Amino acid sequence: MDHSATPQTHPTLLVVDGHSLAFRAFYALPVDNFSTKDGQATNAVYGFLTMLSQVIETEKPDHIGIAFDVKGGTFRNELLTQYKGTREAAPEELLTQLPLIQQALTALGVRWIEKPGYEGDDVIATLATMGEHDGCRVLVLSGDRDSFQLIDDDVTVLYPGYHFKDLKHMDPAAVEAKYHVTPGQYPDLAALRGETSDNIPGVPGVGDGFAAKWINQYGSLDAIIEHADEIGGKKGEALRDNIDQVRLNRRVNALVRDLDLGVTIDDLDYGRVDADLTERLFNELQFGERTRTKLLTTFNTAPDDTPTPAPAIPTIIEPLVDALTDTASLTMWIEQYCPPADPTEERPDPTLDITAEYDHQSTQCADAVRRSWTLYIDGDAKPGHASAHMAAIIAGAHAVAFDPADPRYHDTLRTLLDTHADSLSVHGYKEHLHMLAAADLTCPTVLFDTNLAGYLIDPDFQGGSLEECAAHFLDIHLDDHDDTPKQGTLGFEDNDDQDDDPAQRCIDHAAVVAALARRLAPELERREQYPLLRDIELPTSRVLFHMERTGASVDRARLDELHTQFADESAQMEAIAESAAGRSINLQSPKQLGVVLFEEMGLKPTKKTKKGAYTTNAAALQTLYATSEEGSKANEFLGALLRHRETNKLKQIVETLIDAINPKDGRIHTTFTQTVTATGRLSSVDPNLQNIPNRNADGREIRSGFVPGEGFVDLLSADYSQVELRIMADLSGDEALIEAFRSGADFHRYVASLVFGIPVDEVTPDERSRVKAMSYGLAYGLSTYGLSKQLGISNGEATKLRDQYFETFGKVHDYLESLVADARRTGYTETIFGRRRYFPDLNSPNRQRRDAAERGALNAPIQGSAADIMKIAMIRADRALRDAKLASRIVLQIHDELVVELAAGEVDEVIALVKDAMEHAVDLAVPLDVSTGVGTDWQRAAH
């Protein structure tokens, strides 16, 4: 940054009281004249930015830090309960603008900082102290007189006058001229005088004059108190009557100067505007062109750093299509257009052990992707039914298409994949493995997967197909000309003949993949997500491919038995419900249920749906059942209805399992998906195995239908214990929580003893359950309202429980608070391994969207880290089994559990290998704990 126009011996740090400036801006400009067409007030945003730009133009600082207060109390409220208690709540029109101000600062490249549990004044004091230590001339822009205590030869406070432009430069001489004390003595003066605006009572009748007189006479507040008996008159009496209050005032008004803010002075550089963010925000705020130009000119001061336009979306390059006639022609084409990877270029080690110390080196991928070749296979990637009909390769500006199963090209394609996979881009590596396997081909780990890359860039994007990704990332909307369930059934609108030409259609799809790769690789590199793609997601795809292809063996007779059992009980409950109702009724109809319950039986409804009907969801029915008179018709009806719903759901789950059995091998080949859950967790479809209940006996019975297949003897279940809570302990660094894990006692009982302050053996089951729910609630971002509903307690009781928990585990509170603050500043959260999730709504003026984003920001790092750990565990376990040349194999991954099909004679060795792989997937402050069990079916393997 070049500020040579103002020669200075020392760099200048400008520290700004963000809330003070925002309030001044809000009240300086009328809301009516500064609002968008949708009614969003913008006066505080406009005033804040223009006032700040005025100071920047005048003072030309080298570094800027903006301090904000955090909602909630601070340590000063604990010292002085009435602290700031008389202040009126800020107007809603201002509160909705504070996130917009912070969003604008981020877009304009200015760092803003907040610290939970402390005021913005403490952040200011810490930044000023840091600046002095770094040899800076410090300017503090604040309308709060408490900042005067920071003033010395290197720190000046810019104190606004009646007009903002009339900033008073308060240096030591100015403080002494106004208050007749030094800046170092000013807190003593303020403690005697009090501060009406902060509801801090001073000594009655003592103002600045008398306070300064006493300070100059005795030297300090401590000396004044020591000689209080010598001071005569009513003011001396008032002082003696309020000595404890004065001492407290002095503790309250002392600013904290040594907070850990997680920044250095170098982090407070400015001058690099994010053109894309500012454009979107200024459009939303409806700022005029003159305002935009003025602000961009002020804040974009880095040399040769004009606002950078958003990266251009790559166009679809139509390649030259070369005809193939025989093996030799494909071989020659490959040699000409698909040169091998540069032998001097460093390639990732496929045996890399991922640990917590993994430092995300080698994030570069954009250049390699630009030089890569693209493979697209048109076929069916469904596990158990995979097929490959046509393959297209694009290298540079040339393309070929052929049948991958054609014997003429089979061996050449195999050699190409074996030798060039590390420079290959595909859309859906796992899906391509299935289709290649159908053609008796394999493929080592590829360079780039556009499906996984898109997911890492935007994990909230619920796409996955080539059509969806092209629309989302390239803004290209492709027509679907084919209703058959194939991967890649898209085509260009201007290619009318492609339906009759499968080869051309396949080439068109490959061209889309190549464009996606060119679009996504630079962004993946910029966000430092390529190591996740290379070292976690792509190896996970290979493990999932093997699991899907293998499938899970089931006992069809047992599933049929369970289906009959659930169907019979469902029918029985339906009959009981109809008998209680006195007539036939469709138990699936909310409308008919409403008539029976609220009109015929006269029950009091709980609440209405958005459409005005009385709700009959599960929670409402449970409440009605719990409050209905035992033995009454309503009680009998509700009991039967609830049981009918439960058994009917179990019946439907079993039906989906039976329907999914592959007749060729009698196994279920589910599809595991990596790109659905925003946190990074795996899910499964066709069928969804993760919806098999595990919290009730009937649901667990369904697991008894999963058995070892032919040639195998047992199933191993290996499950992480309390992985989210262990991650929370590690990331927060809370010594008490870490000790709870290391104690060896029942974790939740031990934690409850600490929270409630009672011996472990006196903890009741209810207290243990409450604390367990609290612990997991924090790990999942559960609100106190959600906790109250889960435990069936009042919101006040849930709040009290949370407060008790945080009093015990203070660093957990600080960590969770920091997650939202950091995400609001950077725009994203990160897992242990750097997986990012972006939360643009953290700065939304819409409260519901903002609250949802805050819950997501609390949830993502812990849940995402758990997801990363499970994927690494799968990779390690699969590698260990293969390296040991064992027949046993992983067949399922459900939540935090791996299920392994065990071969005879391998049980002990496999248990040891899998347990070691899972427990050492990452090194945490508390060890990962894995429970294992072996049985002749999945239920019996429970532990």
Report in angstroms the alpha-carbon separations of 271 from 61, 268, 303, 564, 887: 11, 10, 9, 70, 60
Q: How confident is the model at residue 312 (pLDDT cuts 50, 70, 90)?
A: low
The one-letter amino acid code at 455 reads: Y
- Of 588, 566, 562, 590, the C-alpha closest to 648 is 566
pLDDT surpasses 90 at 262: no
pTM of model > 0.85 = no
* Structure letter (DSSP) for residue 534: I
| Beta carbons of 575 and 597 less than 8 angstroms apart | no
pLDDT tens digits along 321-331: 999 888 899 99
Q: What is the pLDDT of residue 638?
A: 93
Return the amino acid letter for 462. Answer: Q
Options 3.40.50.2300, 3.10.28.10, 3.40.50.1010, 3.60.21.10; CATH for 12-172+255-268 is 3.40.50.1010
Start-end of CATH 3.30.70.370 domains in the chain: 670-721+835-943
Instruction: Provide CATH code, domain 555-660.
Output: 1.20.1060.10
**What was the pLDDT predicted at 374?**
96
**Matching CATH number, 724-834, of 1.10.3720.10, 3.40.50.300, 3.30.450.40, 1.10.150.20:** 1.10.150.20
Q: Note the pLDDT tens digit of each residue in 617-645.
A: 888 888 888 888 888 998 999 999 999 99
Q: Output the average pLDDT for the chain.
A: 86
> Tokens 């939303």 sit at which residue?
284
User: In the predicted model, is pLDDT for residue 491 greater than 50?
Assistant: no
Q: What are the pLDDT digits (tens) for 769-821?
A: 999 999 888 877 777 888 887 888 888 888 899 889 989 999 998 999 889 88
> Distance between CA 740 and CA 746 in Å, rounded?
9
For residues 690 and 344, give the distance between their C-alpha atoms in angstroms, rounded to a whole number: 45
CA distance 828 to 840: 8
pLDDT for position 307: 42
Give me the amino acid identity at 411. D
Cβ atoms < 10 Å from Cβ of 59: 20
C-beta atoms surrounding 783 within 10 Å: 16
Antiparallel, parallel or unpaired: β 930-935 and 398-402: unpaired
- Give the integer Cα–Cα distance in Å for 28 and 22: 10
Residue 172 has pLDDT above 50, yes or no: yes
Q: Nearest 5°: phi and psi at 130?
A: -60, -40
Asked whether the predicted pLDDT for residue 854 surpasses 50, the reply is yes
Using a pLDDT cut of 70, give the percent of the chain over it.
Answer: 89
> What is the location of CATH 1.20.1060.10 in the chain?
555-660
Q: How far apart are CA 204 and CA 359, in angstroms?
A: 60
What does each C-alpha distance from 168 to 22, 269, 925 come to in angstroms?
A: 19, 25, 51
Tell me the C-alpha to C-alpha distance, in Å, between residue 565 and each of 166, 562, 572, 712.
83, 5, 11, 28
Which residues touch 362 (CB under 8 Å, ≥6 apart)?
Answer: 346, 348, 530, 531, 534
* Residues 520/473, Cβ–Cβ less than 8 Å: yes
Give the count of beta carbons closer than 10 Å to the beta carbon of residue 56.
Answer: 18
Residue that wins the pLDDT comparison between 343 and 147: 147
Residues 43 and 33 sit within 8 Å (Cβ to Cβ): yes
User: In this structure, are residues 506 and 400 in contact, taking their beta carbons and an 8 Å threshold?
Assistant: no
Q: Which two tokens stand for residue 349?
A: 């080690």
pLDDT confidence bin for 926, thresholds 50/70/90: very high
Distance, CA of 582 to CA of 633 (rounded, Å) = 9
pLDDT band at 536 (very low <50, low <70, confident <90, very high): very high
Backbone angles phi, psi at 676, to 5 degrees: -105, -50
Using DSSP, state whether 167 is helix, strand or coil: coil
How high is the pLDDT of residue 355?
A: 46
Cβ neighbour number for residue 173 with a 10 Å cutoff:
10
In angstroms, the Cα distances linking 943 to 372, 718, 931, 940 are 48, 9, 7, 8
Torsion angle, alpha carbons of 825, 831, 833, 838, to 10: -50
Question: What's the confidence (pLDDT) of residue 330?
Answer: 92
Q: What is the pLDDT of residue 469?
A: 93
Chain length of the chain: 943
pLDDT digits (tens, 9 = 90+) for 754-774: 999 999 999 999 999 999 999
Q: What is the mean pLDDT of residues 819-841?
A: 91
pLDDT in tens, 672-698: 999 989 999 999 999 999 888 887 888
Residues of the chain with CATH 3.40.50.1010: 12-172+255-268
Chain segment 541-591, per-residue pLDDT in tens: 999 999 999 999 999 999 999 999 999 999 999 999 999 999 998 988 888
Question: Is residue 610 scored above 60 in pLDDT?
Answer: no
What gap in Å lies between CA 685 and CA 727, rounded to an integer?
A: 28
Point out the least confidently predicted range of 229-238, 354-363, 762-771: 354-363
Can you state the angle between helices 18-28 and 43-59, rounded to 10 degrees? Answer: 120
Under CATH, what is the fold of the domain 320-550?
Nucleotidyltransferase; domain 5 (3.30.420)
What secondary structure, in 3-state letters, does 466-527 show? Answer: HHHHHHHHHCCCCEECCCCCCECCEECCCCCCHHHCHHHHHHHHHHHHHHHHHHHHHHHHHC
- Is pLDDT of 480 > 80? no
From 443, 848, 843, 867, select the one nearest 675 (Cα to Cα): 867
Task: Give the residues across from 388 on adjacent strands.
Answer: 379
Instruction: Please state which of the ranges 256-270, 382-396, 414-428 shows the lowest mean pLDDT.
Output: 256-270
Q: Which part of the chain is CATH 3.30.420.10?
A: 320-550
| Angstrom distances, CA of residue 746 to CA of 376, 703, 760, 837 | 53, 27, 9, 34
User: Rounded to whole angstroms, how far apart are CA atoms 179 and 215?
Assistant: 11
For residue 305, pLDDT beyond 70:
no
- Rounded Cα distance between 238 and 747, Å, is 55
Lowest pLDDT segment from 341-355, 569-583, 882-896, 920-934? 341-355
Scan for tokens 């003026």, then name that residue.
Answer: 845
Rounded average pLDDT over 342-364: 50
User: In which band, very low, low, confident or very high, does the pLDDT at 362 lie, cut at 50, 70 and 90?
Assistant: low
With contact defined as beta carbons under 8 Å apart, do 779 and 728 qualify?
yes
Q: What is the pLDDT of residues 203-223, one digit of tens each?
A: 887 888 888 888 888 888 888
pLDDT tens-digit series, residues 69-121: 887 665 565 555 555 544 556 788 888 899 999 999 998 999 999 888 788 89
Angle at the Cα of 47 from the Cα atoms of 46 and 50, rounded to 5 degrees: 85
For residues 382 and 260, which has the higher predicted lDDT (pLDDT)? 382
The tens digit of pLDDT for each residue in 437-469 reads: 999 999 999 999 999 999 999 998 877 899 999
Residue scoring higher pLDDT (342 or 939): 939
List the one residue out of 98, 111, 92, 35 whose CA is nearest residue 842. 98
The DSSP output letter for 764 is: -
d(CA 716, CA 356): 27
- Looking at residue 77, its pLDDT comes to 55
Q: Token match 């097929």: residue?
A: 387
pLDDT band at residue 373 using 50, 70 and 90 as cut-offs: very high
**pLDDT value for 650:** 94
Q: Is 375 helix (H, G, I), strand (E, B) or coil?
A: strand
Residue 387: what are its φ and ψ, rounded to 5°? -155, 155
Quote the percentage of the chain above a pLDDT of 90: 51
pLDDT at 61 over 90: yes
Please give the average per-residue pLDDT across 271-277, as a whole number. Answer: 83
Sign of torsion over alpha carbons 401, 405, 408, 411: positive
∠ CA(297), CA(298), CA(304), 5° rounding? 55
Q: What's the whole-number mean pLDDT along residues 606-616? A: 69
Report whether pLDDT(879) > 60.
yes
> What dihedral do alpha carbons 265, 268, 272, 273 form, nearest 10°?
170
CATH of 670-721+835-943, one of 3.40.718.10, 3.40.50.1100, 3.30.70.370, 3.30.70.100: 3.30.70.370
Q: Say whether pLDDT at 490 is over 90.
A: no
Element (H, E) at 351: none
Whole-angstrom distance, CA of residue 378 vs CA of residue 509: 9
d(CA 227, CA 239): 11
Q: Beta 137-141 vs 667-668: how paired, if at all?
A: unpaired
